[in-house]
Structure 1
Amino acid sequence: MHRDIFAQRRNESLVFFSLLAILTVGSVIITHYDVVKGFLSFGEALNWGVSNFYPDAKSMIKLPDIFQKLKETVLMSVAATTIASAFALMLALVGSRTTRSNSFFSILSRGIASFFRNVPLVAWAMVLMLAFSQSALTGYLALFFGSVGFLTRSFIETIDEVSHNSVEALQATGARYSHIIFQSVLPSSMPQMISWLLYMIETNIRDATLVGILTGTGIGFSFDMYYKRLDYHSASLTVILIVITVILIESLSNKIRRVIL
């Protein structure tokens, strides 16, 4: 029996890697990609990066302006995520099988979450630019809509997993819906929800850089501006500060998770 299982897994792996190889070769042929030239140019690209893409003394003059844009990006990401979490919590309570009061609204809530979650952040930014042009509001709304979809889905799963038994116990005693929410669902689910919220803040700070390039705001706009001006030293300083900020935020987030979970 063990041999049959091993043989089945081996055949499945063989089929998977065969399909992957066929797709790879097909993509290379269709796009006329020169694989050899691509590998050979890697060394040239690395050499160019080492020679040009680093901060110099002149780029340090722009450090205060870069810090200001970075602060705007971080604050916008935090604001979009926290406000989105409030809407996501309401949708999750309606959509969760544990706390739903109406099947129609539960399906509607899950549908809204699925739609918002499956539309890429870049698509949100481009669509919103048609209505609000390039502005901070466009970037904020793009992050907000993406966060609502992701957090609603995460909160629904958290409520269904964590609160099911305690909710059934309170329902058996005849507790009212509000008592079930505030005395069972929220206390038991909140630590995991906060963990998802922190994760979303980390993700949005990373994504806000790309959104800023599209919407002309924040640190993404600064990087795009320096890069298009061929000011690679300032652009590299911007990238380094983004990486440091993301690492610090992630470290702080992990510490908070260890405390609450």
Structure 2
Amino acid sequence: MTRPVLDRRTVPAPSGPGVAASVVVLAILGAGVWAAGDLGINIATLVDSASNVADFAQRMFPLDFPEIGELLRLSGITLAIVISATLLSVLLSVPAAVLAASNTTPGNTARLGSRALIVLARAVPDVVLAIVFIRVFGLGSMAGVLAMGLHSVGMIGKLYADAVEQIDEGPRTAVRAGGAGRLQELTTGVLPQVLPAFVSTALHRFDINLRVSVLLGFVGVDGLGFAIAGAFRELDYQRGMALAFVVLVLCVLAELLSGAVRRALAHAPPSPPRPARGRISPPWTGSRVRRTGYALVAALVVVASLWGAELSPAGFFSGLGQLGTTLGLFWPPETGGILPDLLAALWQTVKIALAATLLGAVLALPIGALAARNVAPSPRVAAVFRGLIVLIRGVPELVLAVVFVVLTGLGAVAGTLALAVGAVGLLGKLVADSLEEVDERVENAVSATGASRWQVFASATVPQAAPAFVGHVLYQLDVNIRSATLLGIVGAGGIGFYLQNASRVLEFGVVTTVLLLVFALAMVVELIALWLRRVAGRR
């Protein structure tokens, strides 16, 4: 009996771009290891910091909650600002997405222009927008709504445009064939298909904005974040951590509500039942009653939020008259004679982001795997680790940074550890979702050969999810670069210290320089990520 000969032609040879992509990924991994060592992130540092935990706990407990009336007032203001900002971003993102999507745009000029505005909105940090708007509109809610609302367009607009490009063109073609105009095409042929994705994205952004509101409180935006900032400045950790706990509870509730709505949308019928003969509208079934009730509740919440945020149209239009003058203060960029210090701080920001991404990925991989229903030993284990991820995601990174500053002292170590813990929340969720989305047929085929659970995981599950892992880690690196820029506000290292200090002493040209440096750095990371995704798509 002759032995089968392996046909070497069936084994694809590694391509040049594929090899280059592997080298880049390994280089990023190596840079993360080096950055962690260079910053002093090691066992000895963690052991030394552990001795401060008991002291911090004594200064934090018992938690000092404000009176119920004040607590409800602060929570109401925060929720009103966040809901109003998310609504503003949705209203701006829908037309931007229609213009940016290749299948609905009127032309390449409109598409490229809209895409550029979406990228610009994402590139300008919300805290910088808040600094600008506070100078225009003063302290309060208006600056927070505008800052979060405009910055959120960068994420929502992109995801909305992607959803529009992925629609089934059949309904839209049928509507057009019936003589409908362009607006009717969009409202009847496009919007019904993308509405679930639009609602899901808006809810996800609401969850993010709730945590962002804490950061904006440190530059003067009203609400829980402003109260937390005041408590920490006075070293009143009992009050500050009590308010941070309230934010955590709100974030967890928002995450649970968002998940419930997304699941309801995913299991909703694709279209309402056809009306009976002689009727001009669908019957009032239980499903239609629930949808109508949800819509009414949502409308009431939006109206209450607009009222609670105390947004004044007169104040808005009067402030617009000063916008040009205020923007003029930020141009041209200036270095203030500290360009070497800015570059050194930017380099430290890069190291913080690299080290935090590496540490977060190392922690997130096992946690995310145990949170995946097709990998965890039991559904109960998966539920427990999903809950852990939700709790971690609910803690604002700025609060984590303050805690680690107290435990480890001022500097990059605190910022790195804060971002690493924060990364576990996002990466853990993305890892779990990627593992659950693999092709079960491949797993079943390997299992049918007699492979153990671990062998199936290593040889079938992980290889399928590996490209998504790389994309998630690069996305987390991009997020960490932007976050590391801002954590310096509370002394957690990086260029954020110079950003905050320049705004306090009214050196707005230096603020612009910092913004341009961070923008250039983020664009480099974005281009690397795009190239790696393109190479992975060819393989």
| Residue 111 of structure 1, CA deviation | 2.8
Deviates more, 1:152-161 or 1:210-219: 210-219
Aligned partner of 2:303 among 7, 18, 21: 21
Does the CA-based 8 Å contact 1:55-1:234 persist in structure 2? no
The residue number in structure 2 matching 1:174 is 450
| Residue 242 of structure 1, CA deviation | 1.3
Structure 1: runs of 5+ lacking an equivalent:
none
CA offsets 1:137-171 (integer angstroms, 9 cap, x no match): 11111100110111111111111111433222222
Aligned partner of 2:331 among 41, 44, 54: 54
Aligned partner of 2:345 among 57, 69, 88: 69
Q: What residue identity is the alignment partner of 2:355?
A: A
The residue number in structure 2 matching 1:149 is 425
1:162 and 2:438 aligned: yes
Q: Secondary structure at the match of 1:4?
A: coil
Q: What residue identity is the alignment partner of 2:323?
A: A
2: CA distance, partners of 1:170 / 1:205: 40
2: CA distance, partners of 1:203 / 1:61: 29
1:205 and 2:474 aligned: no
Q: What residue identity is the alignment partner of 2:495?
A: I
The residue number in structure 2 matching 1:228 is 504
Q: What residue identity is the alignment partner of 1:36?
A: A
1: CA distance, partners of 2:297 / 2:283: 14
1:196 and 2:472 aligned: yes
Deviates more, 1:170-179 or 1:150-159: 170-179
2: CA distance, partners of 1:22 / 1:106: 37
The residue number in structure 2 matching 1:44 is 322
Higher RCO structure, 1 or 2 (CA under 8 Å, sep 6+): 1
1: CA distance, partners of 2:378 / 2:367: 12
Q: Secondary structure at the match of 2:368?
A: helix
2: CA distance, partners of 1:224 / 1:216: 12
Q: What residue identity is the alignment partner of 1:21?
A: V
Q: Secondary structure at the match of 2:416?
A: helix
Seen in structure 2, the aligned counterparts of structure 1 residues 89 and 163 have a Cα distance that, compared at 3 Å, is farther
| Residue 5 of structure 1, CA deviation | 5.4
Deviates more, 1:244-253 or 1:126-135: 126-135
Does the CA-based 8 Å contact 2:401-2:492 persist in structure 1? no
Aligned partner of 1:217 among 490, 493, 496: 493
RMSD over aligned CA atoms reads 2.6
Q: Secondary structure at the match of 2:410?
A: coil
Does the CA-based 8 Å contact 1:134-1:216 persist in structure 2? yes
Does the CA-based 8 Å contact 2:405-2:492 persist in structure 1? no
Q: How many residues end up aligned between the 2 structures? A: 255
2: CA distance, partners of 1:60 / 1:27: 37
Deviates more, 1:135-144 or 1:178-187: 178-187
Percent identity of paired positions between Structure 1 and Structure 2: 25
2: CA distance, partners of 1:94 / 1:15: 36
2: CA distance, partners of 1:27 / 1:213: 26
Deviates more, 1:18-27 or 1:119-128: 18-27
CA offsets 1:169-227 (integer angstroms, 9 cap, x no match): 22222102332222111111000111111111111111112212112411101212222
2: CA distance, partners of 1:48 / 1:78: 35
CA offsets 1:31-62 (integer angstroms, 9 cap, x no match): xx543123211231331221x21245x62743
Seen in structure 2, the aligned counterparts of structure 1 residues 179 and 6 have a Cα distance that, compared at 3 Å, is same
Seen in structure 2, the aligned counterparts of structure 1 residues 243 and 105 have a Cα distance that, compared at 3 Å, is same
2: CA distance, partners of 1:216 / 1:11: 46
Q: What residue identity is the alignment partner of 2:327?
A: G
Structure 2: runs of 5+ lacking an equivalent:
1-273
2: CA distance, partners of 1:102 / 1:21: 44
1: CA distance, partners of 2:421 / 2:528: 25
Seen in structure 2, the aligned counterparts of structure 1 residues 100 and 11 have a Cα distance that, compared at 3 Å, is closer
Q: What is the TM-score when the length of structure 1 is the normalising length?
A: 0.85
Does the CA-based 8 Å contact 2:413-2:492 persist in structure 1? no
Seen in structure 2, the aligned counterparts of structure 1 residues 224 and 27 have a Cα distance that, compared at 3 Å, is closer
The residue number in structure 2 matching 1:87 is 363
2: CA distance, partners of 1:146 / 1:73: 16
Q: Secondary structure at the match of 2:437?
A: helix
Higher helix share: 1
Does the CA-based 8 Å contact 1:98-1:163 persist in structure 2? no
1: CA distance, partners of 2:515 / 2:380: 47
Q: What residue identity is the alignment partner of 1:53?
A: F
Q: What residue identity is the alignment partner of 2:325?
A: N
